[in-house]
Structure 1
Amino acid sequence: MFLKIFIWPLLLNLALSTASDFTYNGFKGANLSLDGMATLTSDGLLRLTNISKHEQGHAFSTVPLQFKRSPMGTVISFSTVFVFAIAPEYSMFGGHGFAFVLSPSMHLLQTFPTRYLGLFNSSNNGNPLNHIFAVEFDTIEDAEMADINDNHVGIDINGGISNKSKPTGFISDDDGQFKNLSLVSGEPMIAWIEYDGINMQLNVTVSPLSMPKPKLALLSFTVNLSNVILDHMYAGFSASTGLPCSFHYILGWSFKMDGKVPELDISSLPRLPRAVTSSKDKTGTILMWLLLSLSVLVLMTVAAARMIMVRKKRFSELLEDWELDFELHRFSYKQLFKATRGFKDEYLLGVGGFGRVYRGVLPDTKVEVAIKRVCHESRQGVREFVAELVSLGQLQHRNLVPLLGYCRREGELILVYEYMPNRSLDKYLFCEGESTLSWSQRFWIIKGVASGLLYLHEDWERVVIHRDVKASNVLLDGDMNGRLGDFGLARLYDHGGVPQTTHLAGTVGYLAPELSRTCRVTTSSDVFAFGVFLLEVACGRRPIEPEKAEDMQVLIDWVLANWRKGTIMETRDERLGEEYVAEELELVLKLGLLCSHPLPTARPSMRRVIQLLHGNIPLPDPLLLNQLYTKDSAFVKYGGTNAYVMSCTSLSSESLLFSGR
């Protein structure tokens, strides 16, 4: 008994200290815990995912590492280096990304793929009880995760919204210039992650495998990890796929506690597999020549029959009797196939959780269109959904993106919209390198979107609630007119009727507070989202930006605080310079606060919004607004770990169709 009591802790500590330093130059015979799609190949590669859709893979060290010398102590310095490569299914788009992870457990249960990278799910994303530290290498731009682009490195603490992120690349030692790297190039890259426990400084550096480590880090972040990292944690990797997919490979990995991490032996690393290319099977080739030698006529007959079968399958559609009512709004798959030259990658406009969007030209009319391919696995509610889509196709307003029609195939719904050549508004507001919009352009777009919403709420034959009003769903036509699009979440009901309770859907940051209690959408909940939209256009900011200072993270809170201090004009987009009309800008900021008021009864109707924007009526007395926005009002804070935010992740991407419709 004495030996068990005193020797067992010594053996455990010895095991932990031994595990604090390891190097894998390839993974043949490596002792790792694997789950999901993760596997060790015969060549010694750690492959986290393949091109299976909506899957995840995890790989962890099997022995926990000791990160603290005492339970309440600070985190010990640590460093790691690894070589990785991402080989996408499509040459231009990666299938989500992967992350280096420190976790309390090597078994990540009930986690989701796609935007959650196999680390979190919709209910625990952002929960401080997760005790997850990760550095993500992400190849999808997800607005709900506040991603800066579709090729970035980010530091994640307990959730998928990065505390700090940068486009992937390195700072050259020669000229000090930033050099871009494409994560989805399929080429091996090397990453260093170093944490200084004394100065609480975290550095992340990335470079091509062929060059030495750059002197300057890509990401430098001062953070105290003592409340995140527990005494003992497992180190490893997590990756996921969505509709677009990628192979995620780790070629080598070295880890060190409290010291300089050992360098990897690049010459000993396994080689990446060569890209899969289409080639004819040798047996098939021999058989073909035998058939040729026997009878050219027979071969031509078989080939002709096969071409007919392939052509028939290529253009096959799903058509049921009830769809005859919608015949005028249905496109043939053959039309859309020709419009996009067979849905080639060069016509691809974007890839997201909803599916893929292509630009095309209809062969008969030469009309330019945007074609959205949405996958689904259930036929439940299809008839109702198509009926609503066809109804929405009857909308005619200069500030709405026209829905021209649809097509159905087995497991797929294809929507056809009029093409908007200047893309979505968010690209001009948030993306670096894009030319900014002048204030006159912004004010014109705001008034246009307001006019479109008034038409949906009051002026059409039925009431349409959009449910996802935001800058990324406002598209710009050739004349830079703002057009509200993406009616995939819209609900319709008769004037004078009562909207039905539905599943909560929309985007975090734009959801009216009352939806978390009632799940009953109204025109007032659209007005709330429009208010947030006004603020993001005027301020050039997303609704939620976790990387900013605490008092600036939530756009509504920040503008409201400045309005109370009398400095509301200081929240304007700095890129506007001094070229703006002060009265118009102040009106938009204050109207944004009024529309996004926590009390539905305090929000104006869209008709009143139009009157205010055109100066036909004055804005309500500021004293009245101040009484409404008191500290005792029902205003819901979005910042921090508020339960409302935690439970309201967007349903506008992955479950766009057939979830509560």
Structure 2
Amino acid sequence: MFLKLLIWFLLIRYASSEGDADFIYNGFHGANLSMDGAAKITSEGVLLLTQSTHQKGHAFYPIRLPFKPSNGKVQSFSTNFVFAIVLQYPNVSSFGAAFVISPSKEFPQGELGNYLGIFNPNNVGNSTNHIAAIELDTYLNPEYDDINDNHIGIDINGLKSISSAPASYFGNMSGGFKNLSLISGEQMHLWVDYNGDQNQLNVTLSPINVPKPDRPLLSSTVNLSSILLDDIYVGFSSSTRTAPVYHYILGWSFKMNGQAQALDLSRLPKLPRMGPKKKSKLLIIGLPVIVVFFTFTVISAVGLFVRSKIKFAEVLEDWEHEFGPHRFSYKDLFMATKGFKDSELLGVGGFGRVYRGVLPVSRLEVAVKRISHESRQGMREFISEIVSLGRLRHRNLVQLLGYCRRKRELLLVYDFMPNGSLDRFLFDHPNSMLSWNQRFRIIKGVALGLLYLHEEWEQLVLHRDIKASNVLLDNEMNGRLGDFGLARLYDHGTDPQTTHMVGTFGYLAPELTRRGKATTSTDVFAFGAFLLEVACGRRPIDPRSSMEEEMLVEWVSECWRRGKILEAADRKMGQEYNEEQMELVLKLGLLCSHPVAAERPSMRQVMQFLDRDACLPDLSSDGLGAAILSHHKGSDDIHLSYPSSFELGFPNSSSIEGSVLSGGR
């Protein structure tokens, strides 16, 4: 034992002093790796990073490597490895993995999903990370400028690749690049070569049965000396979220200051068998006994089965097969909500009831909304839009996970937001008041989410019901725009044809009462009412207030006309707010609430105002206050916009919106 420890100590000293690390794993039986999370070495000798939902796994070479031993310049290095990505459900999208060069081999703050188990919303993109990674990305994230959901990328300190290309390889004989699918379950070989003298980083990919191509897939000039620290670790990281996925590494070779050794492909372990195991001899011998026992119990089993079928019967038509991955079984939702017990009830309203649930297999917390429908007319189009909205991916939107149909019910499944809705903190919890910094961060988050809906997703999305009760707060009190029950999708550049007036009184733009036609500008109007709601701590319409203060936008306009706009700030905060930010939000709320649609800013302009990248127009010169007061007091239409607080077409729905998808009661 002492001799083994001495040899291992000398190897560490040698690797640290010489700086020419050189190791190879043709399979990982007996490999000394530093692993955490779900990472493990299987009985076949395969390194398995993740295998189920909501997992992250890291596996690193345990010794720090001196990448900059003397002159402060990163040395040349070379590595290659064989990997495979296997989906449990082939049609369900998943997240990928990455080869990582990092000053640490532990990432306790790394989040799941598209953060690859390395980064989180607070540190992604920070130059202090000192991390370089080669990502095997199998999920399209528009916020990180991904080119598609099947690409290789070079990442520096974050998830926006400085260079990326669709997964493919160069055919030496035929010429040209041939496409590969990272989630095909096939074994692939990847090489990473860095020339420290020329600052040249090459990434090459091929199927396992094809020699290393002459032409790399990626070739990028990047000075790693300005990014990496001296003593660092090399290894792998991956993570999953709602979809189970197996990330395998079958062999790995690495060398500093030279070409990494070639893997002996004949010695690599086989991938673990997927699917059912072979029948055991015991089962074959005991089959007659099993048959007799089965026959004896089949009568009672059939009875239970029929009862279960009736209890959990669902509506499933032929056209729904194309939406399979987004459809939940009623049985799973029934079990998740404990049979839709009142103890799991989050809210009740005109749309139906909302329940908290925990999915039985993945243990994912969800919110389940039950909506009654009497007609099948338009149901296919509605389900199609629900599935499309389920593909929205933004950190300031509540994720719509899928749906289920049963008899005369439609069930929508969302991410669960533990801190409930924003209006609970504004109006219902005087002892849990939000600080101004929290409110301003929530405002910017909702603005970013709405900008994504209007301009940055593949289609234009009109939310049509923006208000504080539809803004949910996650466990870090970040604002997420939710409840897409009234949302509609349109192709960019087309004219929205919606003519049915829906929304919530107090947030409806004046033109909606005349034409009933929703646009991005009507969303901006509702966002303006939301801004005043958050800054003033008051609802857009408050019948309990005096006549002068009943209409929030009129009252703020009057404060502004008197030169005392800060008097409109939420009195519960006292003077604990940034006066410059408060004045900006109040004036921006008035500008977004302009009676004339053409005068309202776009959401991109709103973000420029909030980030102080652009100045608000001179409100004292454009007559905004006079226009608002004149219109609100003189127009018959405005009384249609603000008579009372209920949902058009869905009476008494206000009580559900304050707690949907959340922990509120």
Query: Given that residues 404 and 412 in structure 2 are in contact (C-alpha distance below 8 angstroms), is that contact kept between their aligned partners in structure 1?
Result: no
Tell me how far 1:499 sits from its aligned partner.
Answer: 8.3
Query: Counterpart in 2 of 1:550?
Result: none
Secondary structure (helix, strand or coil) at the match of 1:183 reads coil
Query: Given that residues 351 and 372 in structure 2 are in contact (C-alpha distance below 8 angstroms), is that contact kept between their aligned partners in structure 1?
Result: no
Query: Given that residues 340 and 358 in structure 1 are in contact (C-alpha distance below 8 angstroms), is that contact kept between their aligned partners in structure 2?
Result: no
1:153-164 paired onto structure 2 within 5 Å: 153-164=152-163
1:520-559 paired onto structure 2 within 5 Å: 523=589, 531=602, 533=604
1:517 and 1:29 mapped to 2: Cα distance? 64
Deviations 1:458-485 (A, max 9, x none): x9732379xxxxxxxxxxxxxx997998
Secondary structure (helix, strand or coil) at the match of 2:274 reads coil
1:351 and 1:286 mapped to 2: Cα distance? 53
1:326 to 350, 375, 392: 350
2:47 is the counterpart of 1:46: yes
Query: Counterpart in 2 of 1:646?
Result: none
2:42 and 2:623 mapped to 1: Cα distance? 63
Q: CA RMSD in A?
A: 5.7
Tell me how far 1:607 sits from its aligned partner.
Answer: 12
Query: Given that residues 530 and 596 in structure 1 are in contact (C-alpha distance below 8 angstroms), is that contact kept between their aligned partners in structure 2?
Result: no
Secondary structure (helix, strand or coil) at the match of 2:350 reads helix
Secondary structure (helix, strand or coil) at the match of 1:184 reads coil
Tell me how far 1:78 sits from its aligned partner.
Answer: 0.6
1:108-507 paired onto structure 2 within 5 Å: 108-276=107-275, 289-294=291-296, 297-308=299-310, 310-311=312-313, 313=331, 316=334, 318=340, 323=347, 325-327=349-351, 332=370, 350=391, 352=393, 354-355=398-399, 373-376=413-416, 378=418, 380-381=420-421, 400=462, 416=485, 420=489, 422=491, 425=492, 441=493, 461-463=505-507, 491=530, 493-494=539-540, 495-496=552-553
Deviations 1:218-252 (A, max 9, x none): 11110111121222211101111223342211111
1:24-63 paired onto structure 2 within 5 Å: 24-53=25-54, 55-63=55-63
Give the AA of the match of 1:186.
G
Tell me how far 1:325 sits from its aligned partner.
Answer: 3.7
Tell me how far 1:96 sits from its aligned partner.
Answer: 1.9
Tell me how far 1:45 sits from its aligned partner.
Answer: 1.0
Secondary structure (helix, strand or coil) at the match of 2:80 reads strand
2:47 and 2:218 mapped to 1: Cα distance? 26
Secondary structure (helix, strand or coil) at the match of 2:57 reads strand
Tell me how far 1:191 sits from its aligned partner.
Answer: 0.8
1:234 and 1:525 mapped to 2: Cα distance? 52
After the TM superposition, which of the residue ranges 264-273 and 372-381 deviates more from structure 2?
372-381
Secondary structure (helix, strand or coil) at the match of 1:82 reads strand
1:195 and 1:363 mapped to 2: Cα distance? 60
Give the AA of the match of 2:90.
S
Pair 485,286 (structure 1): closer, same or farther in 2 beyond 3 Å = farther
Query: Counterpart in 1 of 2:67?
Result: 67
Query: Given that residues 243 and 352 in structure 1 are in contact (C-alpha distance below 8 angstroms), is that contact kept between their aligned partners in structure 2?
Result: no
Deviations 1:86-136 (A, max 9, x none): 123432344322111111122234222223212222222222222111111
Secondary structure (helix, strand or coil) at the match of 1:275 reads coil
1:193 and 1:248 mapped to 2: Cα distance? 19
Pair 293,149 (structure 1): closer, same or farther in 2 beyond 3 Å = closer
Secondary structure (helix, strand or coil) at the match of 1:144 reads helix
Identity in percent = 33
Deviations 1:398-418 (A, max 9, x none): 9935679x9xxxxxx985456
Query: Counterpart in 2 of 1:22?
Result: 23
Pair 259,464 (structure 1): closer, same or farther in 2 beyond 3 Å = farther
Pair 462,313 (structure 1): closer, same or farther in 2 beyond 3 Å = same
2:311 and 2:159 mapped to 1: Cα distance? 46
Query: Counterpart in 2 of 1:617?
Result: none
2:287 and 2:523 mapped to 1: Cα distance? 51
1:137 and 1:83 mapped to 2: Cα distance? 12
1:559-570 paired onto structure 2 within 5 Å: none
1:362 and 1:308 mapped to 2: Cα distance? 11
Secondary structure (helix, strand or coil) at the match of 1:221 reads strand
Query: Given that residues 25 and 264 in structure 1 are in contact (C-alpha distance below 8 angstroms), is that contact kept between their aligned partners in structure 2?
Result: yes
Tell me how far 1:159 sits from its aligned partner.
Answer: 1.8
1:306 and 1:50 mapped to 2: Cα distance? 31
Secondary structure (helix, strand or coil) at the match of 1:251 reads strand
1:576-595 paired onto structure 2 within 5 Å: none
Residue ranges of structure 2 left out of the alignment (5+ in a row): 1-7, 314-329, 355-368, 429-449, 451-459, 471-481, 510-517, 534-538, 541-551, 557-567, 573-579, 594-598, 628-659
Secondary structure (helix, strand or coil) at the match of 1:463 reads coil
Pair 307,501 (structure 1): closer, same or farther in 2 beyond 3 Å = farther
Query: Given that residues 524 and 600 in structure 1 are in contact (C-alpha distance below 8 angstroms), is that contact kept between their aligned partners in structure 2?
Result: no
Query: Given that residues 401 and 413 in structure 2 are in contact (C-alpha distance below 8 angstroms), is that contact kept between their aligned partners in structure 1?
Result: yes
Secondary structure (helix, strand or coil) at the match of 1:235 reads strand
Give the AA of the match of 1:230.
L
Q: How many residues align?
A: 482
Residue ranges of structure 1 left out of the alignment (5+ in a row): 1-7, 393-397, 407-412, 426-440, 466-479, 503-513, 536-542, 544-555, 557-592, 612-655
Tell me how far 1:501 sits from its aligned partner.
Answer: 12
Query: Given that residues 114 and 241 in structure 1 are in contact (C-alpha distance below 8 angstroms), is that contact kept between their aligned partners in structure 2?
Result: yes
Query: Given that residues 112 and 240 in structure 2 are in contact (C-alpha distance below 8 angstroms), is that contact kept between their aligned partners in structure 1?
Result: yes
1:255 and 1:501 mapped to 2: Cα distance? 63
Give the AA of the match of 1:166.
A
2:250 and 2:461 mapped to 1: Cα distance? 51
Give the AA of the match of 2:507.
V
1:415 and 1:460 mapped to 2: Cα distance? 13
Pair 99,660 (structure 1): closer, same or farther in 2 beyond 3 Å = farther
1:184 and 1:41 mapped to 2: Cα distance? 20
2:88 and 2:591 mapped to 1: Cα distance? 39
1:319 and 1:383 mapped to 2: Cα distance? 25
Pair 131,214 (structure 1): closer, same or farther in 2 beyond 3 Å = same
Pair 400,415 (structure 1): closer, same or farther in 2 beyond 3 Å = closer
Pair 199,323 (structure 1): closer, same or farther in 2 beyond 3 Å = closer
Tell me how far 1:77 sits from its aligned partner.
Answer: 0.8
1:21 and 1:265 mapped to 2: Cα distance? 16
2:615 to 599, 603, 619: 599
Give the AA of the match of 1:400.
L
2:406 and 2:211 mapped to 1: Cα distance? 51
Query: Counterpart in 2 of 1:103?
Result: 102
Pair 206,516 (structure 1): closer, same or farther in 2 beyond 3 Å = farther
2:571 and 2:159 mapped to 1: Cα distance? 29
1:122 and 1:595 mapped to 2: Cα distance? 18
Pair 310,296 (structure 1): closer, same or farther in 2 beyond 3 Å = same
Query: Given that residues 461 and 490 in structure 2 are in contact (C-alpha distance below 8 angstroms), is that contact kept between their aligned partners in structure 1?
Result: no
Greater Cα radius of gyration, structure 1 or 2: 2
TM-score of the superposed pair, with normalisation by structure 1: 0.58
Secondary structure (helix, strand or coil) at the match of 1:350 reads coil
Query: Given that residues 83 and 190 in structure 1 are in contact (C-alpha distance below 8 angstroms), is that contact kept between their aligned partners in structure 2?
Result: yes
Deviations 1:183-223 (A, max 9, x none): 22222211111101111111111122121222211111101
